[in-house]
Structure 1
Amino acid sequence: MSVSNDKIPTNLLILDSKNYDKWHKQMKVLFGYQDVLDMIADGITHLGKEATAAQEVKFKEDKKKDYKALFLIHSCVDSDNFEKVGDCDSAKTAWGILEKAYAGADKAKVVRLQIHKRQFELLQMEDKETINDYVTRVTRLGNQMKSCGEAVSKQNFVSKVLRSLTPRFDNIVVAIEESKDLKTMTKDELQSSLEAHEQRMDERGNDKAKAEVALQARFNEKNKKSKGK
C-alpha cells in the first residue's frame, strides 16, 4: 500500500451487492487518508456572482478535491454500481446515491445482530475443547456483534466465559469470582488464569494415567509369575 497522498492505495475492496457495510467503512478511512472527507460530508460551496479572488482560489481547490473523491468512488465500485454513479457531477451526490441504494444493509445488520446476540447467549464450551479454542470462539462471535453495531464489554465477555465453561472448571471459576474484580478483569487475564488451571489439570491427568499403566503392568507381571509356578 502506498504511503504517499499522491497515490491511490492498491488492492482496495470493490463494492458489490454483498459487502456494502465493509466497503463503507473502508471508503470513509480512504477519504480521510486522501484529505477529501469534507467533500463527501459537505460538498462544494458554489461561488456567488461577486466572489472574491480568495473564494475563487478555494473553489478551484475544492473542485479538485471533489474530483479526487469522485475518482475514488469510481475506482472502488463494480460495473453495476458504476452505472448508478457514473453520471454524477459531485462526490457527495454519488455517495448519497450509494447510501440510499444500500439502506437495506442497515436493516439486515439489525437482523444479524439479533442472531449473533442469541448465539452469544447460548454459546457453551464443549467437553473436549481447550480454553484457547473456546475463548477464540467467544471472541469471534463478539467481533461479529461489533461489526453489526454493538460491542461486547469486557465485563460481559468475562462473565459469559465464566458461566459457560465445562464443570471441570468449576473450582477455578469460584476462585476467580471470589478473588478478582470482574468489572476490571481483561480477556487476556481471564484466559491466562484458565489456561494455567487447565495445564495443571492436564498434568494431573497424565500422572494419573501413567500411574494406572504402571499398576496394570505390575498386576500383569504378578499374574505371569503366579501362572509360572
Structure 2
Amino acid sequence: MATKNVVVDLTKREKLDGTNFDMWHRKIQYLLNEQEVLETLTIVMMRPENGNTAQHRYDLETYESWVKKDHCARFTMLSSMHNDLIGEFENYPNAQEMWNQLKISYGGTSATILRALTLKFEKYVMDSKHSMAEHLRTMSTLIRDLKAASNNLSNEQ
C-alpha cells in the first residue's frame, strides 16, 4: 500500500520532463528497489523453449515472475513521465532497454537542457501559495540541477 502511495505522489509531482533526469532517475531507482523490481534494469530474460522437465517448469516460472516485474518497472517509469515522453519510450520491449535509452536521451547535458534549466532558474519567482521553506527548497533544487549540469552560478545570478 505504501508503495502505491509513493507512485501516486511521484506521478503527480516529479514527472520526467527532459530537464530533470538526474533527480528523476534517482527517485525511480529508489521506487523500483522498494517494489523489488530494480533488477529488471540490469537483467533481461528470454522465454525458455518448450519442454516438460522439472527444470523447464522452474525456468518458465522464473521467466513469468520476471515478466511481471518487468511490466511493473515499465509501468512505474512510464507513469512518471510527462505525456509527450510516454509515446517516445513505451515501445521499448523491456524495462532495461527503456532505462538505457532514457540515460542516452537525458543522462547527458545538452546545450538545450542547460539553457532550459538556466531560464527556469532566472524566471523563477516565489509562488504566493508557498511558504518560505518551500520557496527555498525549490531554489535549492534549481541550483543543484544547474550544478549537476556543470553550470555554476555567478554571484549576480
Higher relative contact order (CA 8 A, sep 6+): 2
Do 1:39 and 1:91's aligned partners in 2 also have CA atoms closer than 8 Å? Answer: yes
* AA partner of residue 17 (structure 1): G
Aligned residue in 2 for 1:105: 109
Percent identity over paired residues: 21
> Following the alignment from structure 1 to structure 2, what is the Cα–Cα distance between the partners of residues 80 and 94?
15
Moved over 6 A (4+): 106-109
**1:84 is aligned to 2:88:** yes
Match of 2:65 among 61, 64, 68: 61
CA contact (8 A) 1:20 1:105 kept: no
Query: How many residues get paired?
Result: 115
Q: Which residue of 2 aligns with 1:14?
A: 15
Give the structure 1 partner of residue 118 of structure 2.
Answer: none
Quote the Cα distance in structure 2 between the aligned partners of 1:22 and 1:105.
Answer: 13
SS at match of 1:104: coil
Give the match's secondary structure for 2:9: coil
- CA deviations 1:155-180 (Å, max 9, x no partner) are xxxxxxxxxxxxxxxxxxxxxxxxxx
CA distance in 2, matches of 1:8, 1:43: 28
Q: Does structure 2 conserve the Cα–Cα contact (< 8 Å) formed by 1:84 and 1:98?
A: no
Q: Would the alpha carbon gap of residues 23 and 106 (structure 1) be closer, same or farther in structure 2, given more than 3 Å must change?
A: farther
Q: Deviations over 1:56-103 (max 9, x none)?
A: 111111101100001001100112221221212211111111111113
Aligned pairs (5 A) from 1:146-185: 148=148
Q: Which residue in 1 is equivalent to 2:35?
A: 34
Amino acid aligned to 2:89 = V
The answer on whether the counterparts of 2:92 and 2:98 sit within 8 Å (CA) in structure 1 is yes
Q: Structure 1: where are the runs of 5+ without partners? A: 110-139, 150-229
| Higher share in helix | 1
TM-score scaled by structure 2? 0.61
Which structure has the larger Rg over C-alpha atoms? Answer: 1
Structure 2 residue runs without a partner (length 5+) = 115-139, 150-157
On the 8 A contact 1:15/1:77 being kept in 2, the answer is: yes
Q: CA deviation at 1:106?
A: 8.7
